[in-house]
Amino acid sequence: MVAFEGAVGGGIPIIKALREGLAANRIEWIAGIINGTSNFILSEMRDRGLDFAAALGEAQRRGYAEADPSFDIEGVDAAHKLTILSALAFGIPMQLKKCFREGIEKLTRADIAMPRRSATASSFSASRGAPRRASSCACIRRWCLRGACSPTSKG
């Protein structure tokens, strides 16, 4: 048996919860912050007013970001994690190449400074609705506007 609990969420037992604790439930939507590096960068941009490059540098200095942070800031890591979660939650493997992803590397301080009443997530979140047809895709969102993170939202 190959165990992969640490591949998604690290210390959060989401894999076990999906496999065992929520097995009898009909899951319709998955949403969450699943990339710690991007979460740190966006939090620094929001809380300290840093631009992206400075926040990334701070993340690298503290050891949160790798020397080549491409997988994290381009959404590749979150997309990989989302395909694992989707397969477990919905019982249908999702193709990574069909997963829409949007990185955070082009975000500016002005993007982050959006009023909190209209923009919530200051971190990299991933969401996916239950598959309704084979062409159903996932969405890695850079922003989650109130009311926009619902199963009917389009990527």
Residues 135, 68: Cα–Cα separation, whole Å: 32
Residue of 82, 93, 95, 89 lying closest to 139 (CA atoms): 82
The Cα 72–Cα 142 span in angstroms is 12
State how far the alpha carbon of 125 is from the alpha carbons of 25, 37, 78, in Å.
23, 12, 8
Nearest-angstrom CA–CA distance, 61 and 143: 25
Q: Phi first, then psi: what are they for 31, rounded to 5°?
A: -150, 140
81 is catalytic: yes
Distance CA 101, CA 88 (A): 20
Q: Which of 81, 98, 106, 154 is catalytic?
A: 81
Cα dihedral: 106, 143, 97, 59 (round 10) = 50
Catalytic residues: 81
